[in-house]
Amino acid sequence: MPLIPASVETYLIGSLSTSDLMAGLLLIGVGLLVFSLTIVRKLTKELPQGANRSRWSLLGIMILSFICGYLGFFTLNLGVSYTAPEMLVAVVFFFGAVFVLLVCLLAYRTTQELKRIYVLEHETVTDPLLGIFNRRFLDRRIQEEVLRAQRHRLDLSLLMVDIDNFKQVNDTWGHQAGDLVLQHLSQLLEMDLRQTDILARFGGEEFVILLPHTPEQDAFKLAEKLRRAVEQTPLHRIPELRVTISIGTSSLLPDGDDAHSLLERADKSMYRAKREGRNRVVSYHNNGFAEYGEDCP
């Protein structure tokens, strides 16, 4: 015969099972919230300073308070049979923790996916060696800026920049030195540009600078300033290696102009600068070329 009557045994097992189940749900809920808090803290560290980071930090504090509430409820009911309302609270707590975890996981995975998409998009429009925009991005932006300038009657200018005797640099110093020259030039060009200006590698040793809201005369001055800066600044790693650049400029015409013509005029001006002796700025006008060299005011 059993030592405990069947009816008593069933009652005890039922009571213990219900109590253990509720306690288990609470502890699992605490574990889920702790995991959620870990995700939130990881995401907060990856975000830059700002409003979004502050909001995620606030969410972390709220989750921490939830954890304290769960543990408090668990402690108060430790070893005590749960009443029906208390059982409902424990179940709600559990599914609340599941909900918080799902939201945090979804937010984190969405953030990582957006970051991955941003990196891929950045790679498609950026030159891998120099970190500036590439030809693909430039072609799109020129079209956009030309249409915008024509629509609102705005000034738009463009500089075509080419390194003088770049093949000789590669042949004499090696291709690694050539890469250093390209990086050196891109850094110098960026230093004197505005945030609205667009610097892109056009191909090989050629660069294009798109200058929104810039009239022809200001484009001349900037081009000459860039030419002098490159001429007077040696490479940090190879001080004895000096390079110069030739620059062609063009500006959007009031009527009937387009992106292709704007680029073509700047390209012709740049090749004119090379034919005239290099290390100079040449601008294309309707009535001919204007040249600027070492004696440019």
The catalytic residues are 205
What tokens were used for 266? 């700047």
**CA–CA dist 19, 7 (Å, integer):** 18
What tokens were used for 128? 């891998």
CB-CB contact of 127 with 107 (8 Å):
no
**CA–CA dist 7, 11 (Å, integer):** 6
DSSP-derived 3-state class of residue 254: coil
Closest CA to 160 of 196, 204, 130, 112: 204
**CA–CA dist 159, 296 (Å, integer):** 17
Our CA angle for 73, 64, 20, nearest 5°, is: 30
Bridge-based pairing of strands 206-212 and 281-285 is unpaired
- In order of 10, 68, 102, 125, 186, the CA distances from 121 in angstroms are 65, 43, 28, 7, 21
Q: Where are the alpha helices (DSSP H) in the chain?
A: 6-46, 51-76, 84-125, 135-152, 166-173, 175-191, 216-232, 259-275
CB-CB contact of 149 with 156 (8 Å):
yes
CB-CB contact of 125 with 198 (8 Å):
no
DSSP class of residue 48? P
**CA–CA dist 79, 148 (Å, integer):** 74
